[in-house]
Amino acid sequence: MTYSNHKKNNSILVVDGSEVSRTIISRIINTEMKNTRIVTCGGGEEALAHLSLEHFDLITTSLMLPDMDGLDLARQARQSDNHHYTPIVVVSGDADSRLLREGFDAGVTDYFDKSLGYQPFVEFIKSLTRRTAGLVGRVLYVEDSKTAAMITRHIMEKQGLKITHTSNAETALELLENAASSNDPNVGYDIIVTDFYLKGKLTGGDLLHAVRNRLHYSQQEMPVLIVTVPDNAQKQAEVFHAGANDFVTKPVIEEILIARIHSLLLIKQQFNALKRQAEEMRQIAATDSLTGVRSKRYLLDNGEKFVSDIENQPACAFLLDIDHFKLINDKKGHISGDHVLSELGDLLNDSFSKDSMIVRFGGEEFAIILPKTSIEMAKIKAEAIRRKVERLMPVNIPITISIGVASTLDHPNIDLNALLQLTDKALYAAKEGGRNRICIHSAQTVEHLILPDMDSGIFEFFNQGDSNYS
């Protein structure tokens, strides 16, 4: 029996008498299903021992095992509270009609023809996992009947669901509000299951109305399953008009409840997947792919608010430029130039706090906006980064930078565009003053921080005296 990494979202039990098959299947799944934990067993008894101790999201078994038939394993798994609904796949090369009929009677979900090979088998598992995933999540359960709550909670918990139970809508609403205001991703709920008729000031219908109209959760973001009375078409229609996703009637039938929850958790998972995808796309758009710092688009979208935010005052802006970068591209090639930009981006990200805005402004220019930074602190940080760049030597090429600095302290109520224009003037002065230095645009003038002239090093490196490169 072997395990893969434990900190995974899904878990699969693979039962096969062949050690070679177990090894190959585990390797492919670990490669192609990163969020999956694999447990492999060589026989049925070993598999049953694991099934009695932990929950699996999928079970695959060979038809013929050293100690029992795969169908017997399926039958015994179905008798377990933990795996009454878990998909079971039997792997066989000769599944005839009789065997198929007996297998489905035994609780087999599907068959796979092992003659197709290992890679198609893993693709089959991936497809099945996508179709059947979803019975994992955090449920806010609202029920004021102790008997109903005890029975229904047990049904949900034995499927691996994490249940937070409260007997009234007021407490449920408070829990939802606290979760909405928390930045902790582990706080919150994937689905609400509530009785429509609750004692207290708020009914289940009132809770549902608050979820949709006060907390502004859509049906995809927070699915709601209503428990109501049977044979009341008017009330059932009211449930849907109020914004419920679905309903079940009392007394709750286990198979129907689990099927409804499974369906709604799939909706929640799809919403989360789309949300993650949108966030990833936003991050891609906001990040310069070469340097790893923020993109100019990000600066244009967020810089104005950053500079004007009273909590960031005083804010200081740097505009820095790699000295003679054209010379590097001409003499060493654009690939080397890209390496220089990439390493400088890494250095800037490592040198400034996460609340700073570090942006590739264009070409070899970078803009940095520091919140809550005095002029004196800005001088210290600018000089520190200038010295770090002197020591950087990306791809064994010596580089220096010129830096222009401006502050909102000297220019109250200045907007982003005007602030960057001042830093650009200061940067131009640094270039004109000999490069590899810092200039600060104060209220009245441009202050030069006089530094040792290290500018000639790049020319000595290339054995080149032409000073027309910027």
- What stretches of 290-332 show up as alpha helix (H) in DSSP? 296-308, 325-332
Q: Is the pLDDT of residue 299 over 70?
A: yes
Task: With CA atoms as reference, report the closest residue to 274 among 225, 220, 224, 218.
Answer: 220
At which of 101, 132, 163 does a domain end? 132
Say if pTM beats, i.e. exceeds, 0.75.
no
What pLDDT was estimated at residue 162?
86
**CA separation for the pair 189, 38 (Å, rounded):** 27
Specify the DSSP class assigned to residue 402. E
What pLDDT was estimated at residue 245?
94
Q: What is the pLDDT of residues 382-409, one digit of tens each?
A: 999 999 999 999 999 999 999 999 999 8
What pLDDT was estimated at residue 116?
87
Residue 178 lies in a domain: yes
What pLDDT was estimated at residue 80?
80
Residue 447 lies in a domain: yes
Average confidence (pLDDT) over 84-108:
77
What pLDDT was estimated at residue 135?
54
Helix, coil or strand: residue 190: coil
**CA separation for the pair 348, 305 (Å, rounded):** 22
Domain that holds residue 99: 2-132
Average confidence (pLDDT) over 242-259:
90
Residue 441 lies in a domain: yes
At which of 77, 98, 132 does a domain end? 132
**CA separation for the pair 288, 277 (Å, rounded):** 18
Task: With CA atoms as reference, report the closest residue to 238 among 228, 253, 249, 223.
Answer: 228
Residue 243 lies in a domain: yes
Residues 202 and 272 in one domain: yes
Q: What is the pLDDT of residues 261-276, one digit of tens each?
A: 988 988 888 888 788 8
DSSP string computed for 364-383: TEEEEEESS--HHHHHHHHH
Q: What is the pLDDT of residues 114-145, one digit of tens each?
A: 888 888 888 888 887 766 654 568 999 999 99
What pLDDT was estimated at residue 157?
81
What pLDDT was estimated at residue 417?
94
Residue 470 lies in a domain: no
Average confidence (pLDDT) over 91-97:
74
Residue 300 lies in a domain: yes
Element (H, E) at 120: helix 118-132
| 6/68: higher pLDDT | 68
Domain count, the chain: 3
Residues 359 and 262 in one domain: no
At which of 76, 101, 132 does a domain end? 132
What pLDDT was estimated at residue 456?
44
- Choice among 15-19, 47-51, 98-102, 285-289 with the minimum mean pLDDT: 98-102
Residue 289 lies in a domain: no
Q: Is the pLDDT of residue 185 over 90?
A: no
Q: What is the dihedral of CA 367, 369, 373, 375, to 10 degrees?
A: 40
CATH number at residue 378: 3.30.70.270
- Choice among 73-82, 145-154, 323-332, 401-410 with the minimum mean pLDDT: 73-82
Residues 320 and 252 in one domain: no
Residues 118 and 82 in one domain: yes
Residue 374 lies in a domain: yes
**CA separation for the pair 68, 12 (Å, rounded):** 20
Q: Which residues of 370-380 are buried (b: 16+ CB within 10 A; e: fewer)?
A: bbebebeebbe
**CA separation for the pair 261, 134 (Å, rounded):** 9
Residues 336 and 456 in one domain: yes
Element (H, E) at 321: strand 316-322
Q: What is the pLDDT of residues 354-373, one digit of tens each?
A: 999 999 999 999 999 999 99
Residues 15 and 91 in one domain: yes
Q: Which residue has the tokens 């008798």?
A: 79
Specify the DSSP class assigned to residue 311. G
Q: Where are the beta strands (DSSP E) in 70-137?
A: 88-92, 110-113
Helix, coil or strand: residue 58: strand
Helix, strand and coil content of the chain, in percent to the nearest 5, comes to 50, 20, 35
Residues 352 and 269 in one domain: no
Residues 86 and 53 in one domain: yes
Residues 147 and 103 in one domain: no
Residues 142 and 22 in one domain: no
CATH number at residue 194: 3.40.50.2300
Specify the DSSP class assigned to residue 99. H
Residues 204 and 319 in one domain: no
Q: Which residue has the tokens 């070993």?
A: 46
| 67/83: higher pLDDT | 67
Q: Is the pLDDT of residue 459 over 80?
A: no
Q: What is the pLDDT of residues 323-337, one digit of tens each?
A: 999 999 999 999 999
Q: Is the pLDDT of residue 6 over 60?
A: no
Per-residue confidence band for 98, with pLDDT thresholds at 50, 70 and 90? low
What distance, in Å, lies between the first and last C-alpha atoms of the chain? Answer: 65
Per-residue confidence band for 462, with pLDDT thresholds at 50, 70 and 90? low
Residues 116 and 179 in one domain: no
